[in-house]
Each structure stands twice: as structure tokens, then as C-alpha cells.
Amino acid sequence: MQFELTEEERMIQKTARDFANKDLAPVAAESNKTGEFPEAIFKKLGELGFMGMTVPEEYGGVNLGTFCLVLALEELGRVCASTAVAVSVHNSLVNWVILKHGSEELRKRYLPDLATAEIIGAYAVTEPEAGSDVAALRLSSVRDGDEYRLDGTKIFISTGDKAGINIVFGRTDPKDRKGGISAFVVENAFPGFSIGKTEEKMGLTASTTVELVFEDCRVPAGNILGGEGDGMRIALGALDGGRIGIAALSVGIAQAALDEAVLFAREREQFGTRIIDFQSTQWKIAEMAMQIEAARLLVYRAAKLRDASTPCPKEAAMAKLLATRVANQAAFDALQIHGGVGYTKEFLVERLFRDARAGEIYEGTSEIQRLVISRRVIEEYERMFPTE
């Protein structure tokens, strides 16, 4: 599989890089310090087409697909992972789910505003008792005439307080653990919907993470995605794209860590020698560069499969598992190269170290990725070498 970028892909990558360097970088440090969600940044991203990359032109998007999205997410993640997370969720989960599973009415109603960032989308699965085990969710979704009544709580929802709509998963059949889950488009303006607790996190601080509260929240029956009982299938299908997105922005974090490490090591002297000339530093740099390239190629492969409509749960899990691990190790090594100053907020590596950590938790923990990969590999071997 070849990954030589086309002229169009290079242009998209350059546009994202220029935006990240010129528009995002000057505000990223302050936004992450104050926890302020940079809404003006998302308006600009919408104008450039980055909020509708997976949306067809007929619904106001640019229809460039997952591969071009990961090129953009890497550049955004290199400068501000908080921004990249919101862009990933918006495109990979919200836009994609509505496009693939929404009625034509829902597509026309929501996708144009999502594609231009008139509204931001959020994705609500996690509950106090349902994290990695999606089938354990309890949010009640009861049909009542032409509406559904939603009651319950979602937690750890990225940008849920800033969103115009949330993709919400609820239980429509309490007796069916996996087949009794359905998905809905819920506007934040619907009666009965409110924002609860805002989490204080160690990283990704410019991306708000909140609790969503549903108290007799009335949702039109037409806002269901797919049909009753399709929620688990929709959630698992969307997660492949979400994991590819997180993997891409994690490659960006890792690349930023390598950049910072090399630039600092060229200037810093110890014992009368630049520390970049020490073999121990060079070995760290070599390992970082090699692992980043390996992770990037896995992300590219998964994205290409996604664009070809080829099922890719194993490849998406591999990309996320390796890329997030590489990001954490690269941030660790970059901080180590910086020494004591790297532990201060004056240097970017301190934020990279904190931001990288979430990658191995959200969109499925690293342990879940290993389960996905191992099950698929075992299934492949069983098909090739069936037992008698």
C-alpha cells in the first residue's frame, strides 16, 4: 500500500499546518492555561472546511474522507491536542454517524451547520457504570407517542457543554443487553437536557469535559438514528473512525515532542558539549523518530481502509494502540532531554506530557484495543486453520 501524498493531499496538509502555526499556536498556551474553549478557532476551522471533511458537498462539506482528516488532525495535534480532539469527535463520530445512519431529514437539518461549525457536535456514550462496557449503559429511552423520553446521565463528554447537538446512546429495551440500545440526535436546547459537572483534568485542558443530565428530556421520534436496537452496531462502527482520529492526533503530539527535543538538545550544553552530541540523547531521538514513523504508517493504512469502506476494527485498534503509546513515550523522552526545565510550564513538553496520557484511555483503553486486536487475529487463524 503506497502512501505518497497527492498534490491535493499535500495542499490539505500544508493548509492545516499553516493554520496550526499561524492561528492556533499563538492562542494554544493561554487556552490550555485558562481552560477556555477557543470558539473563534472552530469558526475559522469551519471556514477552511476542516469541520466538514467527511461530509459530502451536497450537505455543505468538502467530502475529503478519513485520510485527509488524519493529515489535518496530526497537524492540529502537534500544536494543540485539545483542539484536535474536538475536531476528531466532530468529524469521525458525529458527522459520520449522522451521514451513515441518519434519515435524509436529519442529514439536511444538521450536517450543513456541523460542516461549517455553526454548531459543534459531541458524542455521548459513557456513563458512571458504563465505560469500556458499552452494553452496560442505563440511560432510559422510552417511546411516548411521537417522542422518546430520556432519563439518566452521561459523563466525560468532550465539548458537551459547547455542542449544539449530542449523539446520545440510550436503552430502549431493558431486557436486551446488547440489542436494546438505540442512538439519538439530541439538541442541547431540548427541554429536560442540562449540563452537570465540568471535569478538571490533568491534560487536554482547553477541551471541556462535562456531565450531561437528562430529566424527562423529550426527543422527537424522528431523531432516532437507524432504528430501535441499532445503537450498539452504530457505536461500534463509529469507534473505528474515532480511534483512527485519536491515533492521528497522537502522532502529532509525538512529532511535537521530537521537534522540541531536537531543538532544545541542539542549544543546551552540559560539560562543555551540546547534549545532542551525547550518544544517550541520539539514541532517544532515533527511537522516537522510528516509532513515530511506524505509528504514522499504521494510521495511514487504517484511514485508507476506512475510506474504502473496508471493515477495519483491527487496523484502527492497532493504529490507536501504537500511536498513543508512542506519544506517551516520546513526551516522556522529550521531557527527560529537557531535564528540570521540561517539568515547568514554561516549556511545551510539559503540556505534551499531560496531553498524551489521555490517548491510552479515551475511545477505548489500550487494554480494550489489545482485546479487539487479539480477537480478530485469533478469528483469522481459525478461518485459515480450522479445527476438526
Residues labelled as active-site residues: 363
List residues bridging with 183 in a β-sheet: 169, 225
For 291, the enclosing helix (H) or strand (E) is: helix 279-307
- Find where cell 477552511 sits: 48
Nearest to 240 by CA among 131, 93, 365, 380: 93
Query: Do 188 and 165 touch, CB atoms closer than 8 A?
Result: yes
Nearest to 150 by CA among 236, 231, 90, 240: 231
The β-bridge relationship of strands 181-187 and 193-198 is unpaired
The Cα-based distances of 17 to 22, 287, 350 in angstroms read 8, 24, 22
Nearest to 183 by CA among 166, 161, 159, 158: 166
Nearest to 352 by CA among 70, 77, 87: 77
In degrees and rounded to multiples of 5, residue 197 shows phi and psi of -65, 140
Q: What is the Cα–Cα distance from 312 to 299, expressed in whole angstroms?
A: 11
Using DSSP's 3-state secondary structure scheme, residue 56 falls into coil
C-alpha cell at 4: 505518497
Residues found in the chain: 388
Note the Cα 190 to chain centre separation in Å: 26
Q: What is the Cα–Cα distance from 248 to 251, expressed in whole angstroms?
A: 5
